[in-house]
Amino acid sequence: MVRSTRAWSHVLASLLLLVLALGSFVAASPAHAVQASASLSVIPADWGPLHKDDVVEVVIAINNTSTDTPARGTPADGVAPVAAVLTGDVSVLLACTDPLCTGQASGKLAFVPAGAGGCVDKNAAVVSCAVSGQNGVLISLGGSLTVPAGGSVDIATIRLKVLADDVGRLGIMARTDPAAVRACSSNASGVCTSCDASGCSLLVFGGNEQTFGCPHACPERIIFRGDAATPDFFEFHALIFVQNAIDPANPGFTISLSNANGPIFAQPTVNAPPIVLVAQGAGTYTYRNNAARTDPNGGIAFIKLSEREGVNNKYKIDIQLFDPMLESRATLANMTVTFTLAGSTYQTTNDWLPRQNGWLLNLPQVP
């Protein structure tokens, strides 16, 4: 009986050692994992405002945010970035009317094939860029595209044409096929996971009756000169679209400033000679009247219209004028600038910043 008890004790002790050994083996076994994640960047070369017949190129890129994932008791598994692989096609949805692109505005944007395979530029893994349905572009990959850990890679550049400019704002969405982004653990071979990626952008459209922005810091100024015999100063800069042909021999430029109380000035005045722009070379027109600087009645002193290189019908306009009524009438911050040129009207309303001797405005900087 004693011998039998001792035998069982020996067996139990052996089993206990085996269980402890197995437990040590399990605890020592690393548990590796990974998360696959990425986004697509949709980058238009010019977000707008865009007008009919404008052409804009859009870069589609992938940004890799895949990483290892931590595990309890496995210090080697942190959140270090890992490479990812993109396979399958990328769909670009045009003219989205809502954030999820459940609706699209037909007849507003069109894909324009350009370059190798229809792409303006493309990654070596891309076979083609082609129209897809009424409002889409399909970027087809012939193989896989590797995105370095924490890196970004341009997939393709596509070209779009604006078919109408009366739509306000429309989105562009790019998305991969489901499970098209694959990432693998950096610590364990064969431990991989897959996900998809998407990204959105916005295009702004506007009729030719709006001014917008400036290509650099170019302050709009109103300066009170404090002398009844010397008119006050007004300076304005903006980017505009001039849809109609500019005919220097056909005068018609006018400009006015107003607030809630009514007109502040309107130039040229009824009795002043019309404004005639003079061509100064391809795409540049000017007007100059130095006498307006000292004339008690003021007047338009300088206008320069310069076409922006590479963008049809987009011009930068610079205006300087003098008017004796600015200080007495420009008493409210919210003011509207309106001017006519080549048969079109342009207007912008903004809150100006008060200064000791006048007002200051900085329009947003745009390309």
| Local confidence pLDDT in tens for the 367 residues of the chain | 444 444 445 544 454 444 344 444 344 445 568 999 999 999 999 887 787 888 999 999 999 999 999 877 656 678 899 999 999 999 999 999 888 999 999 899 999 999 999 999 999 999 999 999 989 999 999 999 999 999 999 999 999 999 986 667 889 999 999 999 999 998 888 899 999 999 999 898 765 445 667 777 889 999 999 887 889 999 999 988 776 777 766 667 899 999 999 999 999 887 788 888 888 888 899 999 999 998 999 999 999 999 887 666 788 999 999 999 999 999 999 999 999 888 788 888 899 999 999 999 998 877 6
Q: What is the pLDDT of residue 31?
A: 55
How much is the pLDDT for 29? 45
The DSSP string of 83-145 is -EEE-S-EEEEEEESSTT---B-TTSEEE---SGGG-SEE-TTEEEEEE-SSSEEEEEESS-E
pLDDT number for residue 3: 44
Q: Provide the pLDDT for residue 327.
A: 94
Give how far the C-alpha of residue 293 lies from the chain's centroid of Cα atoms, to the nearest Å: 40
pLDDT for position 51: 79
The three-class DSSP label of residue 166 is coil
pLDDT above 70 covers a percentage of the chain that reads 84
Which DSSP string do the residues of 251-281 spell out, in sequence order? ---EEEEEETTEEEEEES-TTSPPP--EE-S
Which pLDDT score is estimated for 20? Answer: 41
How far is Cα 358 from Cα 335, in angstroms, rounded to an integer? 13
Residue type present at position 27 = A
Question: pLDDT tens digits, residue range 106-119?
Answer: 899 999 999 999 99
Q: Give the fold, CATH level 3, of 34-204.
A: Immunoglobulin-like (2.60.40)
Q: Tens of pLDDT along 209-220?
A: 456 677 778 899
Residue the block writes with tokens 């082609």: 130
Per domain, the residue ranges of the chain are 34-204, 220-361
Q: CB of 224 within 8 A of CB of 327?
A: yes
pLDDT of residue 206: 66
Measured CA to CA, the distance from residue 272 to residue 270 in angstroms comes to: 6
Q: What is the pTM of this model?
A: 0.57
